[in-house]
């Protein structure tokens, strides 16, 4: 449906209420949203209690964080009509907060705007009107200690678990969703079920109904949800550190000359924004940072190539994740990217053992291959590395194969025939501009550069 028509027909999105309660098994968070004159939504979040000792959920600080989570949760519903007014009736935002959330929603919906051909400024996209009351909180004097590691089942979070293995005793794993792969990776890392925080998000069926009817749809900043919910969980469990697995490569835009980034809420910009926001409004001694921020995707792949215990359990294919048994679809940009970035270290037999086929021989992947290399209109809208990293990985793999005097597979032969091999030293890159706490950075540097 047309963006402008929907905005005129449905001018007001309403965030009316939130609630948090519990029973013996779960903590429940519920939200009430409405697109005026269209439909209502009642999404839910569930935190499984297991044997964890959660703090009192009725405090003002919990209410404040839960209220804020609701604004992020609302993005998935708001985007169906992009109503020009975003009305909050259950809480109050100051001018800084309004500006903060407008920026997050605008840039977090960058891919969504690009794919739906929505051309509008951040200022004109929508206004936030908050009609409730401020929730006051004081500085919290809690004894926070230990780490939460959010994981998704891909190579990056497995590397983070390995880098922080010396802190395993006081570490909890955090996952959203009910797929087996993240849990299996955590178990391989040595974390049993009682050390895995499980979060379920229940999407309101009315959203799926609007999607089926052709209302606006597209990518939302999921990692922002991870940020706020993991922060709430860290507070409830007295954990000091939230160690993400977003590398330096996440900062590159998908569209040359425009700030359209599929991974916006994984960028260093968002990380810094969230840290500032949390400190200003939640006043907790909790540190949110990415353990992999100083390095690039190629270096992550180099480290992961040596962690063979994960090779038969990890997976980051978004198409394959929709199957009952999560598998590599071997036909999408994410699969091809992971294949490429691991190829300098694992090609040929070990890599084929993971994917079951040689993706470099698949002629149907030629266009995707070119887009990953930077020779297409845009970079694929997936969590993939930079053009430089892809070209470097391909060049090193070609050199490795030719050194062994073997024939090049189709895609690599095509690359060699049409583009030059690149040189450089991406494997010793280190970005000092990061938020890693000093005690972790020392371990990080030792393990990265003294392996």
Q: What pLDDT score was predicted for residue 433?
A: 92
- Listing DSSP states for 411-437 in one string gives HHHHHHHHS------GGG-----S---
In total, the chain counts a number of residues equal to 451
Q: Which two tokens stand for residue 196?
A: 């895995």
Q: For position 446, what pLDDT does the model report?
A: 76
Letter string b/e over residues 342-364, b meaning 16 or more CB atoms within 10 A of that residue's CB: bbbbbbbeebbeebeebbbebee
What pLDDT score was predicted for residue 451?
Answer: 46
Q: How far is CA 362 from CA 191, 273, 414, in A?
A: 37, 41, 12
168-194 pLDDT, tens per residue?
999 999 999 988 899 999 999 999 999
Read out DSSP for 150-168? E--SSHHHHHHHHHTGGGG
The pTM (predicted TM-score) of the whole model is 0.95
pLDDT of residue 436: 96
Helix (H) or strand (E) holding 297: helix 297-305
Per-residue pLDDT of the chain (451 residues), as tens digits, is: 799 999 999 999 999 999 999 999 999 999 999 999 999 999 999 999 999 999 999 999 999 999 999 999 999 999 999 999 999 999 999 999 999 999 999 999 999 999 999 999 999 999 999 999 999 887 777 789 999 999 999 999 999 999 999 999 999 999 999 888 999 999 999 999 999 999 999 999 999 999 999 999 999 999 999 999 999 999 999 999 999 999 998 888 888 767 888 889 999 999 999 999 999 999 999 999 999 999 999 999 999 999 999 999 999 998 877 776 778 999 999 999 999 999 999 999 999 999 999 999 999 999 999 999 999 888 888 989 999 999 999 999 999 999 988 899 999 999 999 998 998 889 988 999 999 999 898 887 777 776 4
The token pair at 162 is 């390995």
Burial grade of 418 (CB within 10 A; 0-12, 13-18, 19 or more): exposed
pLDDT of residue 134: 92
Tell me the pairing of strands 12-22 and 241-244: unpaired
In this prediction, residue 396 carries a pLDDT of: 96
Residue 324 has a pLDDT of: 62
Give the model confidence (pLDDT) of 406-444 as tens digits: 899 999 999 999 998 998 889 988 999 999 999 898 887
Nearest alpha carbon to residue 235 among 329, 134, 143, 339: 143
In this prediction, residue 450 carries a pLDDT of 65
């Amino acid at each position: 449906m047309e963006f402008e028509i929907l905005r005129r027909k449905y001018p007001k999105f309403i965030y009316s209420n939130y609630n948090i309660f519990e029973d013996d098994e779960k903590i429940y968070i519920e939200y009430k949203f409405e697109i005026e004159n269209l439909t209502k939504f009642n999404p839910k979040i569930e935190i499984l209690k297991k044997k964890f000792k959660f703090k009192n959920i009725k405090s003002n600080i919990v209410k404040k964080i839960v209220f804020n989570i609701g604004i992020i949760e609302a993005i998935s519903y708001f985007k169906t009509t992009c109503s020009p007014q975003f009305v909050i009736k259950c809480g109050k935002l100051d001018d800084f907060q309004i500006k903060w959330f407008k920026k997050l929603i605008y840039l977090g919906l960058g891919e969504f705007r690009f794919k739906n051909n929505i051309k509008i400024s951040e200022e004109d996209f929508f206004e936030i009107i908050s009609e409730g009351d401020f929730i006051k909180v004081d500085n919290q004097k809690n004894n926070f200690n230990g780490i939460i590691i959010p994981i998704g089942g891909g190579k990056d979070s497995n590397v983070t678990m390995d880098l922080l293995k010396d802190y395993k005793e006081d570490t909890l794993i955090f996952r959203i969703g009910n797929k087996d792969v993240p849990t299996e990776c955590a178990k391989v890392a040595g974390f049993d079920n009682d050390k895995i925080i499980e979060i379920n998000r229940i999407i309101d069926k009315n959203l799926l109904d609007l999607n089926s009817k052709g209302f606006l749809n597209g990518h939302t900043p999921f990692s922002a949800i991870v940020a706020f919910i993991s922060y709430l969980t860290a507070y409830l469990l007295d954990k000091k550190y939230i160690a993400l697995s977003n590398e330096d490569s996440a900062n590159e835009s998908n569209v040359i000359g425009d700030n359209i980034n599929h991974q916006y809420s994984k960028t260093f910009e968002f990380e810094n924004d969230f840290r500032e926001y949390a400190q200003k409004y939640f006043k907790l001694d909790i540190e949110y940072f990415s353990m992999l921020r100083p390095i690039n995707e190629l270096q992550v792949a180099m480290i992961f190539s040596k962690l063979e215990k994960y090779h038969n359990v990890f997976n980051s294919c978004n198409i394959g994740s929709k199957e009952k048994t999560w598998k590599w679809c071997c036909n999408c940009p994410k699969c091809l990217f992971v294949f490429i970035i691991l190829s300098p270290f694992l090609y040929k037999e070990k890599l084929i053992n993971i994917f079951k086929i040689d993706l470099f021989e698949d002629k149907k992947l030629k266009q995707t291959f070119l887009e990953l290399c930077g020779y297409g209109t845009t970079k694929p809208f997936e969590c993939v590395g930079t053009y430089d990293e892809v070209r470097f990985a391909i060049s090193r793999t070609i050199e490795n194969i030719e050194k062994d005097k073997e024939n090049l597979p189709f895609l690599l032969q095509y690359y060699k025939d049409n583009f030059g091999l690149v040189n450089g030293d991406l494997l010793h890159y280190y970005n000092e501009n990061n938020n890693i706490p000093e005690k972790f950075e020392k371990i990080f540097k030792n393990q990265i550069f003294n392996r």
